[in-house]
Each structure stands twice: as C-alpha cells, then as structure tokens.
Amino acid sequence: MDLTHKFLANVSVDCVIFGFDFEKLNVVLVEREYDDPATGETIIRDYTLAGYHIFEDEDLDNAAYRILKDRTGLENIYLEQFATFGKTDRVAKEMDHLWLKVIDKGFADRVLTVGYFALIDSTKVKLFSHDSKIDWFPVDDALTMDLAFDHQEILQKALDTLRNKVRTEPIAFELLPECFTLTQLQNLYQAITGNIIDKRNFRKKKLQMPFIVPRTEKQDGVAHRPARLFHFDRNIFEQTRNERFGNLF
C-alpha cells in the first residue's frame, strides 16, 4: 500500500437523538446564535445536531456515547452508527455564513462526520448545554428548519434508517418507558413509519408475541377506561428470534 500521499482529516461524530412524546417523534437540536458586534442584533440563528469531534484515543462508538451523555446525562442507551458523511463540500454551506468570521479556521478543513442515532425514553430526560439553547423538536419540523452544514441530510438518513430497522428489530421499545400500553406502542410505530395501523390486528398480533409481557398494573390518570400495561422482554425475544420472519407490527 502506497502511503505517499497520505491525507489527514478532521473526524467528528453527530448524534441524532430521537425521543417520543406519545404523539410524535422528536429530535434534539442545538441552537446557534451570533450577534453582530456592531449592532448587537442577532444575525444568525440556526440549529445543529448534537456533535463533537472525536478524541485521538477514543473509539468512534465511545465518542458517540460521550456526546450523548454530555447532552442527556444518560448512559446505557441504544445507539447505532448509520452512515458517514464525507463529501468535500459538506461544510461549504458554512462558507456563506458569518460564522466563519468568528470561529477557528479549522472549519475550512475537510471534516468527516460519522452519524449515530440514539433512541431514548424522553419522558424524564433533561437536556444540557453550557453555552447554547438545546431542545426537542418534532422531526417533521426539524426536516424543514435551517440546519447547519449537511445536518439536514444526516437527519433524513437517520430517520430512513430508523424506519427500516424498526420493522425487524425490537428497537421501538427504547423510545418508551419500561411499561407501556399497546395503544402507545401503536402510536409510536405510526409516528415512526407515518402509516396508520389497524388497531384490532395490531393488538391481536402483539398479544400473541411472547416477548410483549402483560403486567398486573393498569394505566393511571386517564379520563377513560385505563389500559393494561406491558413490558418488553428482550431475553424472550432473542430466544424466539428464529421463529420470526416478517414485520414486527
């Protein structure tokens, strides 16, 4: 192997952090603001995914876990690498931005970004950011917002990957609390895929899956008949993995 024209690149990791509020799918975005030094007015406001460059002695996966922990405080979270973005012009959008005037010229270098998506139970998570605003946004909105760099493309690819994977792998449960109702699970699948699912068949199918385990507790604090709660048993799922063929919903 000829290493004579060896070329070195910046490497960063971007985390697409997905959450579910029992209605729609959300994603974590970090706000960027820049005030014009002369007038003091806010000139730029856009959003980025949660990202950071990797450290020299750090595995890619660990960088993603670090970023996730910095932003959510959470550990042992479902995290999956889905794509790497390395177009030579991927920071070109930034060139037209005033950002270039205030930040390190390092941005002008070539930057590779490895994309990860995280699935978290967002119901009780508090988001952290030392210097900028950070918040949840509906994914549908985020796809039309002004995102920095190629974060639009990264988000879209993360969503596509999630939509695909959720059909055959039991990852949807990562977005729900430990106990959930079948309606909540159905709403989640609908939010991810964008399709509506027939309730009767969805229930019938789920009830005969041995890894969807009913609990004695019932739903609480709702203004109608409370639903039975369930939890997902990963062990049973793995034991019965070969018996399955088609969709999980």
Partner DNA sequence: TACTTTATATACTTTGTAAATGTATTAATT
Partner DNA sequence: AATTAATACATTTACAAAGTATATAAAGTA
Is residue 38 near a copy of itself by the rule CB under 8 A? no
Residues in touch with DNA (CB under 7 A) = 181-183, 198-201, 203-205, 207, 218, 222-228, 246
Residue 4 or residue 144: which is nearer to a copy of itself going by CB? Answer: 4
Query: Which residues touch 13 (CB under 8 Å, ≥6 apart)?
Result: 51, 52, 53, 54, 60, 63, 64, 67, 113, 114, 115, 116
Cα distances from 170 to residues 34, 87, 166, 173, 209, in angstroms, run 42, 32, 7, 7, 12
152 binds, among DNA, a copy of itself, none (CB under 5 to 8 A by kind): none
Q: Give CA–CA dist 172/212, Å, rounded.
A: 12
182 binds, among a copy of itself, DNA, none (CB under 5 to 8 A by kind): DNA
223 binds, among a copy of itself, DNA, none (CB under 5 to 8 A by kind): DNA
Binding residue for a copy of itself, selected from 88, 144, 208, 235, defined by CB under 8 A? 88
| Residue numbers 112-131 binding a copy of itself by CB under 8 A | 112, 114
Write out the two tokens for 144.
């039309």
Q: Give CA–CA dist 158/226, Å, rounded.
A: 34
Binding residue for a copy of itself, selected from 96, 104, 220, 243, defined by CB under 8 A? 104
152-161 b/e (C-beta count within 10 Å ≥ 16 → b): bebbebbbeb
Q: Tally Cβ neighbours within 10 Å of residue 175.
A: 27
Residue 53 or residue 206: which is nearer to a copy of itself going by CB? Answer: 53
Q: Give CA–CA dist 68/154, Å, rounded.
A: 16
* Under 8 Å between Cβ of 14 and 156: no
194 binds, among a copy of itself, DNA, none (CB under 5 to 8 A by kind): none
Interface with a copy of itself by CB under 8 A: which range of 106-114, 171-179, 198-206, 210-218?
Answer: 106-114
Binding residue for a copy of itself, selected from 107, 136, 137, 202, defined by CB under 8 A? 107
- Taking the complex as a whole, the smallest distance from the CB of residue 125 to DNA amounts, in Å, to 24
Residue 32 or residue 184: which is nearer to a copy of itself going by CB? Answer: 32
Q: Give CA–CA dist 124/23, Å, rounded.
A: 16
Is residue 53 near a copy of itself by the rule CB under 8 A? yes
Binding residue for a copy of itself, selected from 41, 56, 96, 243, defined by CB under 8 A? 56
Q: Tally Cβ neighbours within 10 Å of residue 209.
A: 18
Residue 154 or residue 176: which is nearer to a copy of itself going by CB? Answer: 154
Residue 28 or residue 182: which is nearer to DNA going by CB? Answer: 182
Residue 25 or residue 54: which is nearer to a copy of itself going by CB? Answer: 54
Residue 98 or residue 222: which is nearer to DNA going by CB? Answer: 222
Query: Kind and range of the H or E element at 232?
Result: strand 228-232
